[in-house]
Amino acid sequence: SYELTQPPSVSVSPGQTASITCSGDKLGDKYACWYQQKPGQSPVLVIYQDSKRPSGIPERFSASNSGNTATLTISGTQAMDEADYYCQAWDSSTYVFGTGTRVTVL
């Protein structure tokens, strides 16, 4: 079965840039999307179709997808961005989530 691997944690200082990777076999050939989940809340879609932002998602969230790796970048990270982030792709009629990354804003 298809797997997506993320680093367990990423730390970033306020105002700096956080990058979260998501690795999977030929992931660049699929659409990747990203979700933000804060404690006790439902996930929120922040990126779809590799790099598009849904309405209401701040411009500081950007992403790319190529080769075997998709990357979510948070520029000018704010305290409110502290959360768990999950990548997701679709493969063989199933939706696959990444292992998740906890972003800590120090």
Residues that bind other proteins (CB under 8 A): 1, 31, 33, 35, 37, 42-45, 48-49, 54, 86, 88-90, 93-100
CB of 9 to other proteins, least distance (A): 13
For residue 63, what are the β-bridge partners? 72
Nearest to 48 by CA among 59, 60, 34: 34
CB of 48 to other proteins, least distance (A): 4
For other proteins, the closer of residues 61 and 86 by Cβ is: 86
For other proteins, the closer of residues 73 and 99 by Cβ is: 99
For other proteins, the closer of residues 13 and 64 by Cβ is: 64
For other proteins, the closer of residues 29 and 76 by Cβ is: 29
CB of 13 to other proteins, least distance (A): 26
Half-sphere exposure (Cβ direction) of 71: Cα atoms closer than 13 Å: 10
Environment class of residue 86 by beta-carbon count within 10 Å: exposed (0-12), middle (13-18) or buried (19+)? buried
CB of 69 to other proteins, least distance (A): 18
How far CA 26 is from CA of 43, 62, 94, 96, in Å, comes to 25, 20, 16, 14
